[in-house]
């Protein structure tokens, strides 16, 4: 048994020196104190890094088909009234969404950017008393209202009971509405008067769109749009204006759900129109994104693939050992260099005295 212990003792890589042979120096104490402080701060830094999650980024091929893309927007037009601003979306598959109104809020703003009124688009038309019936007479008591579409009816029982419905019927026919005052519904709803009342105002429009995940475009423009001979046209005749200022600021434009660290390059971008008429386009490439947090919850958005994860404990332990061992070794080298340097200088000074 003693032989075994003796062999194990010979394997000791850390031979012990009797304390009587230790030589403690001032420089060694200073180096020990400094290295201990550095070691402490590095340990705290590594420990904080271990407690916080890190994000891994991967680029993968998107193989999804038939999915939709959510576009979140918040755009301000300081010189374009809400009553004439419309939103359209279309894609290469041929699908079109003209004059989109659902899930959209418009805020009327004055010249200083203060909000005058906020309402969901398409809501707020005034109540109409005794409107003109399709057959020509006024609506009487206990009679069902069916307004004329002024030649744009699609069937014998097609009714247009508001100015918007007449405009929609005209749009579906590919017609422009040149004089709204000739339309009973528009006249009694004060269509042109509302446009005049909003003269000089701006509009902040925000909400979201659900579109196919294919190439396409969406745009804000004055006037209702319609298709005529496969050409996309906006009806501006009814507004009786010669020019429109489409200066704008993009407060937010995001694709998909929000996730930590998302970058929206067009946020805060603004453009000022310096000519009587104009059009401004942004060309965007959207990359599908999957963000997986530390709990495994996946957020479907649009950039690349991000995965949130913790550093393993073994990795943390390895780094701590590297910090302690590295500083201890470097401190020993520095201390040895200073100690032997002092001894050499001391010996030379003693030799000088004897000579």
The 3-class secondary structure across 46-106, one letter per residue, is: HHHHHHCCEEEEECCCCCCCCCEEEEEEEEEECCCCHHHEEEEEEECCCCEECCCCCCEEE
% the chain with pLDDT above 90: 9
Pairing of strands 289-292, 68-77: unpaired
Q: Where are the domains of the chain?
A: 69-246
What is the predicted pLDDT for the residue at 72? 92
What is the value of pTM for the model shown?
A: 0.59
As a whole number of angstroms, the distance between CA 355 and CA 352 comes to 5
Q: Are strands 289-292 and 305-309 parallel, antiparallel or unpaired?
A: parallel
pLDDT (tens digit per residue) in 1-59? 677 767 766 665 555 566 555 666 677 777 778 878 888 888 888 787 777 766 666 66
Position with higher pLDDT, 190 vs 251: 251
Residue range 42-57, pLDDT digits in tens? 888 878 777 776 666 6
User: Is residue 139 very low, low, confident or very high in pLDDT (cuts 50, 70, 90)?
Assistant: low
Residue 115: φ, ψ to 5° = -75, 130
Q: What is the rounded CA–CA span in Å between residue 224 and residue 192?
A: 15
* 63: number of Cβ within 10 Å: 6
Q: Which has the minimum average pLDDT: 109-123, 160-174, 186-200, 251-265?
A: 109-123
User: Rounded mean pLDDT of the chain?
Assistant: 77
Locate 327 and state its tokens.
């500083």
Of the candidate ranges 40-54, 230-244, 281-295, the one whose mean pLDDT is the lowest: 230-244
What is the torsional sign of CA 136, 83, 242, 90?
negative
Phi/psi for 203 (5° steps) reads -145, 130
Tokens of 28: 């060694």
pLDDT above 90 (res 205): yes
Compute the average pLDDT of residues 191-201: 81
| Residue 24 CA to its chain's centroid (Å) | 62
Task: Determine the Cα–Cα distance for residues 47 and 315; give it in Å rounded to an integer.
Answer: 11
CA–CA dist 113, 200 (Å, integer): 12
């Amino acid at each position: 048994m003693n032989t075994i212990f003796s062999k194990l003792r010979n394997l000791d890589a850390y031979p012990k020196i009797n304390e009587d042979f230790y030589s403690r120096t001032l420089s060694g104490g200073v180096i020990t104190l400094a290295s201990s402080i550095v070691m402490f701060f590095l340990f705290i830094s590594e420990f904080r890094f271990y407690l916080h999650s890190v994000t891994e980024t991967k680029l993968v091929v998107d193989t999804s088909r038939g999915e939709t893309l959510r576009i979140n927007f918040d755009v301000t037009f300081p010189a374009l009234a809400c009553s004439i601003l419309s939103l359209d979306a279309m894609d290469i598959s041929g699908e079109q969404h003209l004059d989109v109104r659902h899930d959209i809020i418009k805020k009327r703003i004055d010249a200083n950017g203060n909000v005058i009124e906020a309402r969901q688009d398409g809501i707020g038309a005034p109540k109409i008393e005794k409107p003109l019936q399709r057959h020509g007479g006024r609506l009487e008591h206990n009679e069902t209202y069916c307004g004329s579409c002024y030649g744009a009816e699609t069937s014998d029982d097609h009714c247009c009971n508001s100015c918007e419905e007449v405009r929609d019927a005209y749009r579906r026919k590919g017609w422009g509405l040149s004089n709204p005052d000739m339309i009973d519904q528009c006249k009694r709803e004060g269509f042109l008067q509302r446009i005049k009342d909003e003269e000089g105002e701006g509009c902040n429009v925000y909400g979201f769109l659900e579109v196919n995940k294919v190439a396409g475009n969406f745009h804000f423009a004055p006037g209702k749009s319609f298709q005529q001979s496969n050409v996309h046209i906006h009806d501006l005749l009814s507004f009786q204006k010669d020019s429109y200022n489409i200066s704008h600021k993009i407060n937010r434009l995001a694709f998909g759900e929000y996730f930590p660290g998302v970058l929206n390059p067009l946020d805060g971008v603004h453009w000022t129109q310096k000519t009587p008429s104009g059009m401004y386009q942004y060309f965007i490439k959207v990359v599908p994104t999957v963000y997986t947090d530390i709990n495994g919850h996946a957020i479907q958005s649009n950039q690349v693939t991000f995965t949130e994860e913790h550093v393993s404990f073994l990795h943390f332990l390895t780094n701590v050992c590297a910090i302690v061992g590295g500083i201890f070794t470097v401190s020993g080298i520095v201390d040895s260099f200073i100690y032997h340097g002092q001894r050499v200088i001391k010996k030379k000074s003693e030799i000088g005295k004897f000579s």
